[in-house]
Amino acid sequence: PAPAPASSAPAPVPAFGGFNAKPSSSAPAPSFNFGSTSSVPAPASSAPAFSFPSAPAPAPAPTSAPASSGDGDAMPKEDPTELGKEENKDEDLLLEVRAKYYRFKKGDGWKDRGVGVLKCYKHKTKGSCRIVMRNSIGKVGLNVAVGKGMEFEKIGGKQSSVKFIAMDEEGVGQIMLKTKPENLDKFHSTLTSMTA
């Protein structure tokens, strides 16, 4: 038997959803639209047309919605004064002053770590002491234990600050707390009394 002659026409490619099909003169080509209504009737071919609905169904309104601030955000806003409140039933508050917190970084010098309300606490039963500083929204910027034998260096004049070495979240390092000149003496004496 002789081999069959090779056909020069390529094999037909199957149509996928009518997209690869060759349009015939008797039927319109399949359509693809995004919600628009067309005056052209649906194709009579076996390939289905594809379209998106004209508009999504609206979501049902909630029965009790929280008050909105008008910016489209439905989450209730927290009052910054509420975040800063702290209850320490086991500790006595020794001093509360506004201060600016600096930490010494080798090669870079003193780096500003924030401003806030600084509080000195002493535990009622254990006698342990600590310094806590929170920013205006209540986030803790500094939380340092004060141990026996710690030394606090008072820097008067324009600096009006107290410098000491302590261990914070970054490890052991030099810390400087700057306050108003009228608060400096009371601040320094409170810190040194906490080491006894």
Q: Is the entire prediction scored with pTM above 0.85?
A: no
- Half-sphere exposure of 155 toward its Cβ, with a 13 Å CA cutoff? 12
Residue position matching structure tokens 């099909």: 21
Work out the end-to-end distance of the chain between its first and last CA atoms, rounded to an integer number of angstroms: 113
pLDDT per residue of the chain (196 residues) written in tens, 0 to 9: 655 555 555 655 555 555 555 555 555 555 666 665 555 555 555 555 666 666 655 655 555 444 444 454 455 554 555 554 556 789 999 999 999 999 999 888 999 999 999 999 999 999 999 999 999 888 999 999 999 989 999 998 888 999 999 998 888 999 999 999 999 999 999 999 998 7
Identity of residue 146: V
How many other C-beta atoms lie within 10 A of the C-beta of residue 27?
Answer: 14
Give the whole-angstrom CA distance, residue 156 versus residue 180. Answer: 10
Strand segments, DSSP code E, in 84-134 are 91-105, 109-123, 129-134
